[in-house]
Amino acid sequence: MKYIQTQKFLNNSISVRTVLPFDIKRVTLLNLLVLMMQMKTEKYPTKSQIAIRLGQSYSFRYSVHLSGIGNQILLDQRFQYIQNGVLPKDFDSQNWIDIIDEFLYHTLIDQNSFDEAKFLLRERLSQLEDDPETYAMNLCLSLLSPTHTVSHSLYGSLDDLDQICFEDCVSLLQQIQQKPKKVFICGHADSKVFAYFSRINQLSNISRISNLYKESSKKVTRVFKSRSQSILCLAYSTNIDIDSDDHMAEVLAVFVLGQCTNNLLFRTIREQYSLCYSIYASLIHFDGIMTIQVGTSREHIDRVLELIDEQIELLRNACFSADLLECAKKEWVDSIRIQKDDPFGLINQAFREEFLKDSLSDSQKIAMINKVSIDQISLAASKFRQCSVAIVEGTSNEES
């Protein structure tokens, strides 16, 4: 159990994390179960009873989240409630503990909640397929090696949804409840809360296995959609692991290329040539994959692809200004500082440090970021290899 003691926030925030293998066949099932875990408990078997109970506990909040961490999935059960100091003196914190225990170990899943969750997940997956940017990104990543987790959407798939039965959900829930938990508490919790969490099965060590994408083959696909705007999505293997000495240079390379203000891609393709509506780069840290996504018109597709190659060559050849690098550093440092203004940002940072065995303080990280040179970024970018391209071509040249 990790306690981040602070009086900075009005609420106490608790994150109970279960680390699961990224089982490709069970991702959709896990998304379905996450919806059901927030609907009912044994003591409160209807949504209205849940809502009333949470309201009686001074707007106690509960949510469940999924995130990918390489070849593992993090199931994050979050609880948030007002600190004792602002509540009536006769309020007993055992109220909160009872609710937490209900959601952790007494989730009620029945046929009705299964049917409702299936309907909700089907709607969500259908909406994601209809969203052009999400569709292009998923298509691009699906071209990567099918044996690697990065090629499979964390949201699940409609095809898999049709194969799931109620008994699958019951079995998976039992497995999750029996697994040890990693508990993070941020705020100023009382002794009863600590006593409760000290009794649950705790995960003593979080182990990470490198999930760096290493395939060298390249795949390209082009599909046609009845819409005005075309979407391009490109994926590159960075060949740099998250715990590598080159990781900071890798992150800054992506900032300079397509994330920070006035980055190489934006100022050239958008500002100089006006060939796109939007363009940005991002990094999937645990898998070593950089993606570039562009919204453009069909007649500009080939030219945009050429210019992207040119900007990456500029990055590799260290042909960018020191001012641009300083801008990238400042924005990364700002993002580190901003996370201290959110309790779950602090919790995510604590989890990441433990997961990566990272003992550096923020000031040490910032000092290391500020020391990264243009040559180091050039060296990192020289390892980038394009591995997939998805072109979702609109059938009209008119602007959206």
64's tokens: 């469940």
pLDDT of amino acid 57: 83
pLDDT (tens digit per residue) in 289-342: 999 999 999 999 999 999 999 999 999 999 999 999 999 999 999 999 999 999
pLDDT greater than 80 at residue 87: no
Taken in order of first residue, the domains within the chain and their CATH numbers are 2-199 (3.30.830.10), 219-394 (3.30.830.10)
pLDDT of amino acid 216: 84
pLDDT of amino acid 328: 97
pLDDT of amino acid 400: 36
> Confidence class of residue 396 from pLDDT cuts 50, 70 and 90?
low
Rounded Cα distance between 113 and 105, Å, is: 17
Rounded Cα distance between 322 and 340, Å, is: 28
Distances (CA, A) of 317 to 173, 213, 387: 52, 24, 21
pLDDT (tens digit per residue) in 59-75: 799 999 999 999 999 99
pLDDT (tens digit per residue) in 134-167: 999 999 999 999 999 999 999 999 999 999 999 9
Element (H, E) at 3: strand 2-5
> Confidence class of residue 397 from pLDDT cuts 50, 70 and 90?
low
Span 209-234, average pLDDT:
93
pLDDT of amino acid 197: 96
Which residue has better confidence, 184 or 95? Answer: 184
Distances (CA, A) of 120 to 29, 140, 160, 161, 298: 13, 26, 15, 11, 34
pLDDT of amino acid 399: 43
Give 210: exposed, middle or buried? Use CB within 10 Å, 0-12, 13-18, 19+.
Answer: middle
- The mean pLDDT value of the chain amounts to 94
Rounded Cα distance between 273 and 255, Å, is: 21
